[in-house]
Structures are given as C-alpha cells and as structure tokens.
Chain A
C-alpha cells in the first residue's frame, strides 16, 4: 500500500524539526498557523488605526517632519465639527447616498421580482444584468466619462434623441446641477445588480406553500405582494440598504475617475475631501481626526449591519 500524503509529509520533515513539533499541543500548532495572519492584521490594520488616533490629537504635518509636534487635544475635532465646508461635503455625500440607495433598491427589487419569474433565457438575463458589478470602478469611471462626452457621448446622444435637444447643449460632468446626478446614475448602473442579487435571494427563500395558501384564500396578487412578499424580503432589503450605505459613504475611486470632485467642489464627497486635506494640504493631524470621525461613523453603521445580517441568518 502506498504511503498517504500525511505519511509522506511526516517522512520529509527533518528529524530535529519533527522532534520539536511532536512536543507541541494542538492549540500551540493552531497558534503557529494563525500567528502570521494575526501579526499582519495588527501591522496593517490595528497599528495604523492606533497611530491615526494618536496623530488626531496633534498638529503633525507630514511634509514638515522636523517641525515640533504639539499636542492639541480635541482642537482638530472641534475645528472639523464646526467647519461649514466639511458640513457641506457631508450634505453632498448624503445626497449621493440617499439617491443611490433609493434608486438601487427600487430598480434592484423590481429586477429581482421580474427575474424570479420563470421565463425563457432567465439565466442569460441574470448574467447580463450582473455584468456591471464585475467591472472595476476605475474602468467604469473611465468609460462613463466617454459616454458623458457632450460631442461624442452615447448618453448625451440618447438623451438628446429622446428629449429633442442638442446633445452638445449639456455636459453631465461639467455642469454644477448635473454633475451630482452623473455620479448617482453611474453608481446606480454599477451596483443595482448587487441589490438585485440580495433581493433575489430573499424572494427565493419564500416557500411556495405560503402563496398557495394565499391563493386558496383568494388573496389578490397585490395583497400577496404587500402581505407576503414585501415583509419576507424586508430583512434582505435592509441588508442591501446598509451594505450600500456603508460602501457609498466610503465612495472614492468612481467619483475621482468621473468628476474628480468637481466642477468646483460640487461632487466632493467626504473621502475625496479627506484625501485633499491629507495629501494636498498636508494637514496630517487634522485629517487624522477627520478620518477617525468617518471611521467611527462607518464602524457604527457596520455594527448595525452585522446585527441585521445575524437576524437574516436566524430566519
């Protein structure tokens, strides 16, 4: 009988090492395997976080490494939380968040409801719909920039064709009124399939027997939708809303590629504003406090998200 994989590994282990390992408990061996990951996690995630919190209480500027670093207490936090420009940036983020979530949930749920029906080519349509979320945000930002071109862009051409206006008479990413909607449209196009998939999972988890019972009770389709479908998909919808909310709160790459925060600062989301404070104005202490504020907000939202996720799992 040929030796097993474990026996071959045991034979290949040098005797000195084998002697050392033989004396270790299962728990110790488990720690040896887990230790590199824990070390990397501490080095890449935890240490920078603690360092950022420490820097947020100082006036440190990374472009002046020789300048004396002073402890300023909560001054950075006080300045950020009384800054009208940052408040405006938060409102821009809120506009982006609310509209993307509303559109993605409405369109995503509608698509899931349609896809859930059995029809020919169902799988093919699902694949086509899911395609945008497989692309890189940088790629999506780049090609939508071309689609939004006033002279040659397909988007402008279609809108011009439908509204009987000159396609070159408006610029989606150059107009202060249209630019916020330009990023909403692209994000909706890209991430609606994700919401659709979550809703589809929710719809497919509803047992058919409930609908059969409702049919027996002569409940109309409309009533079935409001009393069966919607309440049972609601936890999944909540999950999608929270997930997209957290992700869009941190949105950076797509908007940088599309508008770069412009025109002016009309599409400057918090993440872009933070990057400007940290790497253009070099206010490291100040931007660290800004980052801590955003971190606590996202962490809080993520806590609710995990709670919602556990509720869905319990079902």
Chain B
C-alpha cells in the first residue's frame, strides 16, 4: 500500500494506471448495479475520468 501511495506521489505509471483502472471498473459497476439510480447517473463521469486518466498516465515514466 505504501509503495502504491509513494508511486502516486512520484507520478509513476504503475500506480496511476492502477488508480485509473479502479475508476474505470468502479464506473462500470456503478453503471450496471441495480441499487440506486443516482449511482447510474454518475457512472459515466467516473468511467470517463478513469479512461482519460488512463490515457494520460500511460505516458508517465515507469
């Protein structure tokens, strides 16, 4: 966990890509969950942020 936070602080690709992947997965889960319409409403924003973040962070150094 500390290496993950350290990676985020130092703008390392692995940690930021992991964060972006978590956001994308969270967005997809929010889009398809049957519990709350409000979660569905915000799912696209979360997925979009994750996807854009993934594109940007894939250019970060290893």
Contacts and interface: CB of A to CB of B under 8 A. Distances in A.
Q: How large is the interface on B (under 10, 10 to 19, 20 to 34, 35 or more residues)?
A: 20 to 34
Contacts of A299: 51
Contact of A90 (B40, B48, B51, B58): B40
A88 B25 CA distance: 19
A307 B24 CA distance: 13
Nearest to A81: B41
A296 B52 CA distance: 9
Interface stretch (A27-35, A91-99, A177-185, A218-226): A91-99
A297 B21 contact: no
Given A299-B51, A307-B17, A307-B21, A91 B37 contact: no
Nearest to A293: B44
Given A77-B44, A82-B37, A300 B32 contact: no
B54 A90 contact: no
A91 B43 CA distance: 13
A300 B49 CA distance: 10
A304 interface: yes
A199 B2 CA distance: 33
Contacts of A300: 24, 27-28, 47, 50-51, 54
23 contacts: A81-B44, A82-B41, A90-B32, A91-B32, A91-B33, A91-B34, A94-B32, A293-B44, A296-B47, A296-B48, A297-B28, A297-B44, A300-B24, A300-B47, A300-B51, A300-B54, A301-B24, A303-B20, A303-B54, A303-B55, A303-B58, A304-B25, A307-B21
Kindly list the 10 A-B residue pairs having the minimum CB-CB distance in the complex, ordered from nearest. A94-B32, A300-B24, A300-B51, A81-B41, A303-B54, A87-B40, A304-B21, A91-B34, A90-B32, A300-B47
Interface of B: 17, 20-21, 24-25, 27-28, 31-34, 37, 40-44, 47-48, 50-51, 54-55, 58
